[in-house]
A = this chain, B = another copy of it.
Amino acid sequence: MSRLRWLTTGESHGPRLVAVVEGIPAGLALLAEHVDEHLARRQRGYGRGGRMKIETDRVELIGGVRNGETLGSPIAMTIVNRDHQSWLDRMGAGPLPVTPEPLTRPRPGHADLAGGLKYDRHDLRDILERASARETAARTAVGAVSRRLLAEIGVRVFAHVVSIGPVDAARLDLPADELEARARASDLACVDPEAEAKMKDAIKEAAHAGDTLGGVFEVIATGVPPGLGAHVQWDRKLDGRLAQALMSIQAIKGVEIGDGWLAARSRGSRVHDAIHYDAGGRRFTRPTNRAGGLEGGITNGESVVCRAAMKPIATLKRALPSVDVGSKESFDAAHERSDICAVAAASIVGEAMVAITLADAVLEKFGGDSVRELRRNVAGYREQIEAF
C-alpha cells in the first residue's frame, strides 16, 4: 500500500548505519548537505551527554543519486560510527579472537531483557546495540530525503518542544515560520524563552539528582494538501499511520493529534472546527485547527499537528533494581555517563517520521516517477479542488 519503502540497519557501535529508501521519484535535487543539516540538529540539545560531542555525523550517499539528483532507484545512505574503531574487538562481524565478556545485566526501561528472551541472546549487548537511539540517525537521514520531496510541493515540517518534565511552554499564537525560527534558535527547540530557561533549570536539577527527564514535542506540517490518507480502511487512515510513526521512536509512550487528550475532556461544540469558504482563495478554511488537520483519517487542508510524549531516559546514575540474567542475582543498575534529557533531539526524529509518513501519503495519492510528473499531478489536483 505504501509507495515508499525504507529500512535502517546497523548497530550502535558497529561500523556504519545504513538507511535505504525506495520509491522517491527521479529528478529530486539531493545533496549530502541536505541530510547532514538534520543529522547535526539531531545531535545538539541542552542536556545531552558526552557521545554527542565526539561524533559529528556525516552521510555518504552511495546509491540512487548522481550529480546531485535522484535517479528513481533506491537511495542508500551510510553514516560511519566513528567510535567503531575502539570497539573492533567486541563488535566485529567476523569471529573475534577472544569472545567478549557478555553483558548480563539488563537495564530497566530498555529492550535488554525482553529482547534477550525473544532472540535467545545471553549477551544482552546483542540486543541493546540495535535498540539504541543511535538508530534514529538513520531515520533522520530518510526524513531529510522526504523533506526534500515535500518541499517540491510546498509542504514543510518542523517540531518544537512543548514541555520538559513538569515545565510547560506557553502556547504562543505565532505564524508557523516564526515558531520554526524560534525552535531552530533554541537549545531545547522551545519557542517560549521563559519556559526554556525553566526547562534548563529542571534539567540541571535532575542531573544533580542523578536523574533524567522526558517531555513532549509537537510536530507541525504546513502546506499539506487536503486528501492525504483515506477513511476507507483502517490502515489507510493517516492519523493511525502518524501515530505508528511517532510511537515507534525510541522512548515515546504517547501520541496525540490536534487537541488530543484535551478534546476527550471537552464538549463537542468546543472541539470541532467550523467550515468557512474563502472565495478569493477558492478554498475551504477553518477558523480553528483543533482537529490537527485530520478528519476521518484524511488531511483537511489545515496544518497537520501531532504531539509525542517521551519518557525520561532509562540510563541513569540513580540506581534501578535489576537482576543478572546469568546468576539471577539482584543488582542496582547505575550508570556513569548518560544524557539527562533528549527531548529536543527526539523532536528532530519526530520531524523525520512525520515527513516520511507524509511523503509516502503524497506518493500514494499522486503517483509520479519523476519530480516533474509529481508536481504536475499535484497541480492538476489543486486546480480540481479549487473548482470543486
A318 CA to B269 CA, complexed, in Å: 7
Residues of B within 8 A of A91 (CB): 66
Apart from the given pairs A14-B66, A26-B121, 8 other A-B contacts in the complex at a CB distance below 8 Å = A9-B22, A18-B20, A72-B126, A111-B231, A112-B295, A114-B295, A253-B263, A254-B264
Stretch of A48-56, A147-155, A208-216 that contacts chain B? A208-216
Name the residue of chain B whose CB is nearest to the CB of A232.
B73
CB–CB B68/A130 < 8 A: no
A113 interface neighbour in B15, B266, B284, B365, Cβ under 8 Å: B284
CB-CB under 8 A from A223, the residues of chain B are none
Is the CB of A171 closer than 8 A to any CB of chain B? no
Residue of B7, B117, B129 near A71 (CB, 8 A) is: B129
Complex contact A121–B71 (CB within 8 A): yes
Stretch at the interface among A39-47, A174-182, A189-197, A377-385: A377-385
Q: By the criterion CB–CB under 8 Å, are A230 and B71 in contact?
A: no
Question: Using Cβ atoms and an 8 Å threshold, which residues of chain B touch A131?
Answer: 231, 296
A172 within 8 Å of B (CB atoms): no
The CA-CA distance from A256 to B255 in the complex, in Å, is 6
User: Which residue of A111, A241, A311, A353 has the most chain B CB atoms within 10 A of its CB atom?
Assistant: A311
**Residues of chain B contacted by A241 (CB below 8 angstroms):** 244
Count class of interface residues, chain A:
35 or more
Q: Give complex CA distance A249, B249 in Å.
A: 21
Of B9, B26, B93, B234, which is within 8 A of A139 by CB? B234
* A350 adjacent to chain B (CB < 8 Å): no
A65 at the interface (CB under 8 A from B): yes
**Which of A256, A259, A295, A323 is the most central at the interface, judged by chain B CB atoms within 10 Å of its CB?**
A295
Q: What does the 1/0 interface line of A318-348 toward B look like (CB < 8 Å)? A: 1011110100101000000000000000000
The answer to whether A263 touches B214 (Cβ under 8 A) is yes
Residues of chain B within 8 A (CB-CB) of A256 are 253-255, 309
Contacting residues, chain B, for A246 (C-beta < 8 A)? 240, 243
